[in-house]
Amino acid sequence: MQLGKIPRVRLGEYPTPLAELQNFSRMFRGPRLFIKRDDLVGFALGGNKVRKLEYALAEALSQRTTVVITSGATQSNHVRLTIACANRLGLRTVAVLRGEKPDVPTGNLLLDRILGVAEIHWVNPKEYATREELVRATEERALELAEELRRRGENPYVIPNGCKPLHSALAYAGCVMEILEQMRAMNLAPDVIVTACGTAGTQTGLVLGSLLFAQGQIRVVGISVSGKAETLKERIRRNLEEALRFLGVNIAVPSQSIEVYDDYVGPGYAIPTPEMREAVEFLARTEGILLDPVYTGKAMAGLLDLLRRGAFKDAKNIVFLHTGGIPALFADTQAPVFYAQLPL
Ligand SMILES: Cc1ncc(COP(=O)(O)O)c(C=O)c1O
């Protein structure tokens, strides 16, 4: 199956910009560094979810959906962008958030309100021993709500947090095609793409794109923001194999094509680290580009460290994927890390 034949509703503005980080490249005197701006995808402050939602919502429309249900963390970028994209298609969104309802909504949660989320249901973290259990309970609550809505005559469509693995894979394989075209126009080709890795859907798609469109010659480096590298690698392999089967493509997935580092998570998901703060401030101050504290900040901390350790000695051109997440900079849980230690 050709990528272009899979149902997709186009919601973003493409191609998203690809720009060279000239000051950054000069400072490291090594490979040229580029940034792929999926934060500028043209939708409600952007991010990697838009490309994925284009496949998810095409499936929703084909099923005559009346309401979308999705879930995520209190400060979920995925939930914000699902509401925004569903709005464009005239669909309501019900959100299930893991967290305790704050008195004052900030960051993404504020935007969820402005975007007119139909309902928010809270799943209290205190009731679960581990993050995994909490995540599972949140997804189960979404499925229960779908049942309730079905009984009331609605036709709900449930989008898992981060979208279905197949939709993510197709979306980011498409992004690789876009990057290749943009670099080819400059007479260049990417040697490495670096991305934040959460559910690993984005990375799966980038590896798929490298295998499909670049003979596997683009090294895709994932920087975990929560999970263990081994768990994520297994997930990526499973999801890649599913995507290849779906496309009817018979290519082996070499184990070295799945590369994930979990050294930059710090104490846990969405918990700020000094290296994240350094990375966010570094890019802001050298290039005037803002990263987010939960995903791209930690991914950039990984890229900086790997560069310093000489991990990209053979690379000429490195692309850092900006997957969005900017509203989290303004979240009450994140903002203090940037001012608490600074004199006013
Ligand atoms: C800003 C941002 N970057 C990266 C990711 C990670 O993407 P994935 O879940 O596909 O690994 C997310 C997912 O929530 C995100 O919101």
pLDDT digits (tens, 9 = 90+) for 119-128: 999 999 999 9
Report the C-alpha gap between 176 and 319 in whole angstroms.
Answer: 11
250 and 108 assigned to the same domain = no
211 and 250 assigned to the same domain = yes
Residue 210 is a catalytic residue: no
> Which of 129-133, 142-146, 299-303 is predicted least confidently?
129-133
Query: How far does residue 285's CA lie from ligand 1's centre (Å)?
Result: 24
> pTM for the complete prediction?
0.97
What domain count does the chain have?
Answer: 2
What's the mean pLDDT in 302-314? Answer: 96
For residue 323 and ligand 1, the question of a CB distance below 6 A is answered with yes
Taken as a whole, the chain contains a residue count of 344
Q: Which pLDDT does position 344 carry in this prediction?
A: 55
228 and 289 assigned to the same domain = yes
12-26 pLDDT, tens digit per residue, is 999 999 999 999 999
The active-site residue out of 25, 71, 76, 168 is 76
217 and 334 assigned to the same domain = yes
Select from 36, 43, 48, 170 the residue to mutate for testing ligand 1; criterion: most ligand atoms less than 8 Å from CB. 48
153 and 224 assigned to the same domain = no
Query: How far does residue 323's CA lie from ligand 1's centre (Å)?
Result: 6
pLDDT mean across residues, the chain:
96
Domain extent, residue 148, equals 62-159
240 and 324 assigned to the same domain = yes
16 and 72 assigned to the same domain = no
For residue 108 and ligand 1, the question of a CB distance below 6 A is answered with no
39 and 78 assigned to the same domain = no
151 and 169 assigned to the same domain = no
* 271 has pLDDT over 70: yes
- Whether residue 281 lies inside any domain: the answer is yes
Torsion of CA 201, 207, 210, 211, to 10 degrees: -120
* 342 has pLDDT over 80: no
- How far is Cα of residue 169 from the mean position of the Cα atoms in its chain? 12
CATH number for the domain that contains residue 302: 3.40.50.1100
- Whether residue 54 lies inside any domain: the answer is no
194 and 112 assigned to the same domain = no
Burial of 267 (0-12, 13-18, 19+ CB in 10 A): exposed
What's the mean pLDDT in 76-85? Answer: 98
Write the CA distances from 238 to 84, 159, 166, 169, 257, integer angstroms.
30, 19, 10, 11, 13
Position 343 confidence tier, pLDDT thresholds 50, 70, 90: low
182 and 147 assigned to the same domain = no
- Bigger pLDDT: 344 vs 109: 109
- Whether residue 257 lies inside any domain: the answer is yes
Write the CA distances from 327 to 75, 101, 142, 278, integer angstroms.
8, 18, 24, 18
**Percent of the residues in the chain that have a pLDDT greater than 90, as a whole number:** 96
What's the mean pLDDT in 261-285? Answer: 97
- Whether residue 92 lies inside any domain: the answer is yes
* 341 has pLDDT over 90: no
Phi, psi of 76 (to 5 degrees): -70, 125
What's the mean pLDDT in 310-330? Answer: 97
Q: Which pLDDT does position 29 carry in this prediction?
A: 83
- Whether residue 143 lies inside any domain: the answer is yes
Q: Which pLDDT does position 59 carry in this prediction?
A: 98
124 and 148 assigned to the same domain = yes
